[in-house]
Amino acid sequence: MDTRRIPTHAPGSDGWAQQRATGLGGSEVAAVLGLSPWESRFSLWHRKSGLIGPSPDMPATEWGRRLEAVILAKWAEDRPLANLQTGLTYLRDGWQIASPDAVATFADGAVEPVEIKAPQYDDEWGTPGTDEIPPYYLTQTRWYLHIGGWKRIHVAALFRGIDYREYVVEQDADDINLMVAEGRRFLDSIAAGERPDIDAHSATYQAVKQLHPLIEPVRVDVPDDVALAYVEAVAAAKSADTAKTEETARLADHMGNAKAAVWDGHTIATRQARGDGTPYVVASRNLTRYAKEIAA
């Protein structure tokens, strides 16, 4: 294993971008595998190719960074003998990058990284003390374990600013083999100029818009497969919107004044309100996954 310390740069800075131009960090591996809610394989490929700019800094990302020190301090309260180091970045085999939020050295000499999260929702988070965390975070943390050669990583999460939980993730050889193979293949595709296919991820559409920022007074002939697929998708979406409105009304009527709608042990929707406004139904963020599980 060829792992070494490298300089740490602020996320989004020029040094950070240069460091990752030919390498992959934990959140980027999640995008390569199609697991990231914020970045697609397509958008990441174009970003690393220098064809579009860096990802915009979203409020959730900014506040997550601001809360890191507070959440880490909470984790450290129960481990007063652990020595914590922050601002560490590691490079393995010339392209695999890990930047854990902290690395703890315990009294018995054990060294284990700590990752901090401040999610708004807990839909994909399971029982504290386990590795039941969202797939994109599971990918990120196991990537860090692989690069640092650590046995386990602690995940401290603060939900909605009031609900603190801790999780522990251990290594999985099959996961790592997949990550390394797909990560290497992804970087090789950049060098070869072989861009990924367009997919349904919102980040892919944002990337396409950035690639074509101008409106020129010309007309373009569209091939049958592209035109027909678009026309059919728009028609299907309008039909689906109509059906969704009807079924949402039906569900809301069944819920009455209840806050949550539960089916087969899963929360499929909740009723929310803004201020003194009338409550409305919000579908669970995991609804698509539930539907796929049912279909399977």
pLDDT in tens, 266-292: 889 999 999 889 999 999 877 877 777
Contact 153, 113 (CB under 8 A): yes
- Mean pLDDT, the chain, as a whole number? 92
* Nearest of 277, 276, 275, 281 to residue 257 by alpha carbon: 281
d(CA 103, CA 82): 10
Q: What is the 3-state secondary structure (H, E, C) of 128-155?
A: CCCCCCCHHHHHHHHHHHHHHCCCEEEE
Judged against a pLDDT cut of 90, whether residue 53 lies above it is answered with: no
d(CA 289, CA 73): 34
In this structure, the chain runs to a length of 296
CATH number of 3-206: 3.90.320.10
According to DSSP, the residues that pair with 266 across neighbouring strands are 263
Q: What angle do CA 134, 136, 137 make, to 5 degrees?
A: 70
Judged against a pLDDT cut of 90, whether residue 39 lies above it is answered with: yes
Neighbours of 64 (CB within 10 A): 17
- Give the model confidence (pLDDT) of 188-226 as tens digits: 999 999 999 999 999 999 999 999 999 999 999 999 999
- Beta strands at 89-92 and 96-98: parallel, antiparallel or unpaired: antiparallel
- Give the model confidence (pLDDT) of 237-259 as tens digits: 999 999 999 999 999 999 999 99
d(CA 267, CA 278): 21
Contact 29, 145 (CB under 8 A): no
The pLDDT-based confidence of 155 (bands split at 50, 70, 90) is very high
Higher pLDDT, 11 or 164: 164
* Nearest of 186, 148, 207 to residue 22 by alpha carbon: 186
- Beta strands at 163-170 and 260-263: parallel, antiparallel or unpaired: unpaired
pLDDT recorded at residue 250: 96
The pLDDT-based confidence of 264 (bands split at 50, 70, 90) is confident
Contact 95, 24 (CB under 8 A): yes
Judged against a pLDDT cut of 90, whether residue 161 lies above it is answered with: no
Average pLDDT in the 88-98 region? 96
pLDDT recorded at residue 296: 66
Show the tokens assigned to 94. 């010339």
Q: Where in the chain is the domain with CATH 3.90.320.10?
A: 3-206
Q: What is the pTM of this model?
A: 0.83
